Amino acid sequence: MVNLEDLKKEAKTVLEEGKVKYIIGYEKSANGLMPVPGFIKSPEEVEKLIWTPACVYNLTKFLVDEKRRKSREKKPDERPVGLVVKGCDSRALVVLLQEKFINRDDVFIIGVSCEETGVIDEKKLIKKLKGKKAEKIEFDEKDNFIVTTQEGKVKIAASEVLAERCLECKANSPVIYDVLLGEKAKRSVDNPFQSLEKIESLPERERWKFWKEQLSKCIRCYACRSVCPMCYCDECVADTINFAVTADTTAEEKAQKIKWLEKSPVKSENFVYHLVRAIHLAGRCIDCGECERVCPLDIPIRFLNKKLEKDAKELFDYEAGFDPEQPSLVSSFKDEDPEDFIR
Amino acid sequence: MAEEFEPKIVAFLCKWCSSAGSDLAGVSRMEYPPNVVPIQVMCSGSVSPLYVLSAFNKGADGVLVSGCHPGDCHYIKGNFYARRRIALVKRLLDFIGLEPQRFQMSWVSAAEGTKYTQIIKDFVQELKPLGPQTKLRRDL
Amino acid sequence: MKDNTYIPKLAKIIQIKEEVGGARPIKTFRTQFIQDNNFSFKCGQCAMLSVFGKGESMISISSTPLIKDYLQFSILKMGRVTSSLHEMQEGDIIGIRGPYGNGFPMEKWKGKNLIFIGGGIGLAPIWSVLHTALEKKEEYGDSMLIYGARTSKDIVFKQELAELRKKMKVHLSVDVEEPGWEEFIGFVPLNVLEIKPSPKNSVAVTCGPPIMIKFVIQNLKALGFEDEQIYTTVENKMKCGIGKCGRCNIGLHYVCKDGPVYSWAELKNLPQEY
Amino acid sequence: MEKVLDKKSFPQWVKKLSSYTVYAPVQEDEVWNYEVITNPEQVNLDFPNTVLSPKKIIFPQREVYLEFSASNEDGLEVKEVLPEEEPSVIFGVRPCDARALTLTDKVFGGDFEDIYYWKRRNQVALVGLACHTPPSPNCFCLSVDGSPFSKEGLDVLMSDLGSKYFVEAFSKKGEQLINPAKTLFKPPTEKDKKELDKNRTEAKKRISRQIQNIKKIPPKLKGMFDSSLWDEESMSCLRCGICTYLCPTCHCFDINDEIFSSSPLSGKRIRTWDNCQFPDFTMHSSGHNPRQGKASRLRQRIMHKFQYFVERYKNYQCTGCGRCISRCPVGIDIIEVLDKVSSYEG
Q: Measured between alpha carbons, how far is A155 from A141 in angstroms, rounded to an integer?
A: 11
Which regions in chain D score pLDDT beneath 70? 73-74
Q: Do A298 and D31 touch (CB under 8 A)?
A: yes
**Do A171 and A203 fall into the same domain?**
no
**Do D126 and D22 fall into the same domain?**
yes
Residue C274 has pLDDT above 70, yes or no: no
Q: Do D275 and A221 touch (CB under 8 A)?
A: yes
* Residue of C1, C6, C34 to mutate, interface with D, max D Cβ within 10 Å: C6
Residue C2 has pLDDT above 70, yes or no: no
Inside any domain, residue C247:
no
**Do A179 and A227 fall into the same domain?**
no
**Do A262 and A292 fall into the same domain?**
yes
Inside any domain, residue A134:
no
Q: Measured between alpha carbons, how far is A134 from A149 in angstroms, rounded to an integer?
A: 5
Please report, for residues A62, D220, D224, D294, the alpha-carbon distance to residue D227 in angstroms, rounded to integers and kept in the order given.
Answer: 22, 11, 5, 14
Q: Measured between alpha carbons, how far is D213 from D143 in angstroms, rounded to an integer?
A: 9
> Structurally, how many domains does chain B consist of?
1
Asked whether C216 and C117 are in contact (CB, 8 A), the reply is yes
CA proximity to A173, closest of A117, A113, A119, A116 = A113
How do the residues of chain D divide into helix, strand and coil, expressed in percent and rounded to 5?
40, 20, 40
CA of C121, closest CA in chain D: separation in Å? 14
Q: Measured between alpha carbons, how far is A319 from D244 in angstroms, rounded to an integer?
A: 37
* Residue of A243, A248, A250, A263 to mutate, interface with C, max C Cβ within 10 Å: A250
CA of A48, closest CA in chain D: separation in Å? 15
Inside any domain, residue A108:
yes
Asked whether D158 and D184 are in contact (CB, 8 A), the reply is no
Inside any domain, residue B4:
no
Considering chain D, what is the average pLDDT of its residues? 94
Determine the structural domain holding residue D328 and report its residue range: 214-256+274-343
Inside any domain, residue B68:
yes
Our measurement of the distance from residue A12's CA atom to the centroid of its chain's CA atoms, rounded to an integer in Å, reads: 26
Residues pairing with C59 in the sheet: C47
User: Which residues of chain D does A36 touch, with a Cβ-Cβ cutoff of 8 Å?
Assistant: 236, 330-332
- Chains in touch with C (≥3 Cβ pairs < 8 A): A, D
Q: Do A35 and D331 touch (CB under 8 A)?
A: yes
Q: Do A254 and C79 touch (CB under 8 A)?
A: yes
Q: Does D268 touch chain B (CB under 8 A)?
A: yes
Q: Measured between alpha carbons, how far is A327 from A314 in angstroms, rounded to an integer?
A: 17
* Cβ count near A45 (within 10 Å): 18
Q: Measured between alpha carbons, how far is C57 from C238 in angstroms, rounded to an integer?
A: 8
Q: Do A255 and C83 touch (CB under 8 A)?
A: yes
Asked whether C76 and C166 are in contact (CB, 8 A), the reply is no
**Do D24 and D161 fall into the same domain?**
yes
Q: What is the pLDDT of residues A33-62, one digit of tens each?
A: 999 999 999 999 999 999 999 999 999 999
**Do C220 and C135 fall into the same domain?**
yes
**Do C58 and C36 fall into the same domain?**
yes
Q: Does C54 touch chain D (CB under 8 A)?
A: yes
CA proximity to A283, closest of A256, A254, A322, A251 = A322
**Do A222 and A268 fall into the same domain?**
yes
Q: What is the pLDDT of residues C210-269, one digit of tens each?
A: 899 999 999 999 999 999 999 999 989 999 999 999 999 999 899 999 989 999 999 988
User: Which residues of chain A does D272 touch, with a Cβ-Cβ cutoff of 8 Å?
Assistant: 263-265
**Do D231 and D130 fall into the same domain?**
no
**Do A200 and A294 fall into the same domain?**
yes
Q: ipTM of this complex > 0.85? A: yes
CB-CB: which of C7, C245, C257 is closest to D252? C245
**Do A180 and A290 fall into the same domain?**
no
Q: Does A258 touch chain C (CB under 8 A)?
A: no
A4, HSE (Cβ side, Cα atoms, 13 Å): 15
- Stated pTM of the model: 0.94
Determine the structural domain holding residue C42 and report its residue range: 9-100
User: Which residues of chain C does A250 touch, with a Cβ-Cβ cutoff of 8 Å?
Assistant: 23
Q: Does D241 touch chain B (CB under 8 A)?
A: no
Residues pairing with D256 in the sheet: D270
**Do D141 and D252 fall into the same domain?**
no
| Amino acid occupying residue A192 | P
Residue C71 neighbours by CB under 8 Å, 6+ apart = C11, C30, C31, C32, C39, C47, C61, C63, C96
| Amino acid occupying residue D193 | K
**Do D130 and D183 fall into the same domain?**
yes
Determine the structural domain holding residue B35 and report its residue range: 11-130
Residue of D nearest to C83 (CA): D285
Q: What is the CATH number of the domain that holds C52?
A: 2.40.30.10
Residue of C nearest to D295 (CA): C274
> Structurally, how many domains does chain A consist of?
2
> Structurally, how many domains does chain D consist of?
2
**Do A273 and A195 fall into the same domain?**
yes
- Chains in touch with A (≥3 Cβ pairs < 8 A): B, C, D
Residue B113 has pLDDT above 70, yes or no: yes
Inside any domain, residue C164:
yes
User: Which residues of chain D does A220 touch, with a Cβ-Cβ cutoff of 8 Å?
Assistant: 241
Q: Do D245 and A57 touch (CB under 8 A)?
A: no
Task: Kindly state the greatest CA–CA separation across chain B.
Answer: 51
CA proximity to B12, closest of B69, B51, B54 = B51
SS3 state at D244: helix
Strand A81-85 and strand A107-112: pairing?
A: parallel
User: Which residues of chain A does B122 touch, with a Cβ-Cβ cutoff of 8 Å?
Assistant: 343
Residue of B nearest to D262 (CA): B58
- CA triplet D308, D314, D317: central angle to 5 degrees? 60
Q: Do B88 and A279 touch (CB under 8 A)?
A: yes
User: Which residues of chain B does D268 touch, with a Cβ-Cβ cutoff of 8 Å?
Assistant: 140
> Structurally, how many domains does chain C consist of?
2
**Do D154 and D299 fall into the same domain?**
no
Q: Last residue of some domain: C75, C100, C125?
A: C100
Q: Are chains B and A in touch, 3+ Cβ pairs below 8 Å?
A: yes
User: Which residues of chain A does D61 touch, with a Cβ-Cβ cutoff of 8 Å?
Assistant: 219, 265
Q: Does C23 touch chain D (CB under 8 A)?
A: no
Pick left, alpha or beta for residue A113 (phi over 0 → left; psi -120 to 50 → alpha; otherwise beta). Answer: beta
pLDDT band per the 50, 70, 90 thresholds, residue A243: low
CA of D79, closest CA in chain B: separation in Å? 16
**Do C216 and C134 fall into the same domain?**
yes
CB-CB: which of A237, A268, A333 is closest to B83? A333
Asked whether A220 and A277 are in contact (CB, 8 A), the reply is no
Inside any domain, residue B36:
yes
Residue B3 has pLDDT above 90, yes or no: no
Q: What is the pLDDT of residues C82-128, one digit of tens each?
A: 999 999 999 999 999 989 999 999 999 999 999 999 999 999 999 99
Asked whether D200 and D149 are in contact (CB, 8 A), the reply is yes
Please report, for residues A53, A161, D238, the alpha-carbon distance to residue A121 in angstroms, rounded to integers and kept in the order given.
Answer: 9, 6, 20
pLDDT band per the 50, 70, 90 thresholds, residue A142: confident
Q: What is the CATH number of the domain that holds C118?
A: 3.40.50.80
Q: What local confidence, expressed as pLDDT, does residue A259 receive?
A: 87
Q: Do A269 and B135 touch (CB under 8 A)?
A: no
User: Which residues of chain A does B96 touch, with a Cβ-Cβ cutoff of 8 Å?
Assistant: 207-208, 211, 271, 275, 304
| Amino acid occupying residue A143 | D
pLDDT band per the 50, 70, 90 thresholds, residue A247: confident
Determine the structural domain holding residue A69 and report its residue range: 1-118+166-189
**Do C166 and C94 fall into the same domain?**
no
User: Is cis: bond before C99, omega within 30 of 0?
Assistant: yes
Inside any domain, residue C244:
no
Residue A248 has pLDDT above 90, yes or no: no
Q: Does A243 touch chain D (CB under 8 A)?
A: no
One-character DSSP codes across A242-271: -S---TTS-HHHHHHS---S-SS--HHHHH
Inside any domain, residue B3:
no
Strand C169-174 and strand C143-149: pairing?
A: parallel
Inside any domain, residue B140:
no
Q: Do A209 and B97 touch (CB under 8 A)?
A: yes
SS (HEC) of D266-302? EEEEEEEECCCCCHHHCCCCCCCCCCCCHHHHHHHHH
CA of A31, closest CA in chain C: separation in Å? 31
Inside any domain, residue A341:
no
Q: Does C88 touch chain D (CB under 8 A)?
A: no
**Do C53 and C132 fall into the same domain?**
no
Q: Measured between alpha carbons, how far is D237 from D229 in angstroms, rounded to an integer?
A: 13
Pick left, alpha or beta for residue C44 (phi over 0 → left; psi -120 to 50 → alpha; otherwise beta). Answer: left
CB-CB: which of D138, D270, D330 is closest to A264? D270
Q: Do A223 and D240 touch (CB under 8 A)?
A: yes
Q: What local confidence, expressed as pLDDT, does residue D170 receive?
A: 95
Q: How buried is A202 (Cβ within 10 angstroms: 0-12 exposed, 13-18 middle, 19+ buried)? A: middle
**Do D97 and D242 fall into the same domain?**
no
**Do C213 and C137 fall into the same domain?**
yes
Inside any domain, residue D284:
yes
- Chains in touch with B (≥3 Cβ pairs < 8 A): A, D
Residue C1 has pLDDT above 60, yes or no: no
CA proximity to B67, closest of B52, B80, B54, B53 = B80
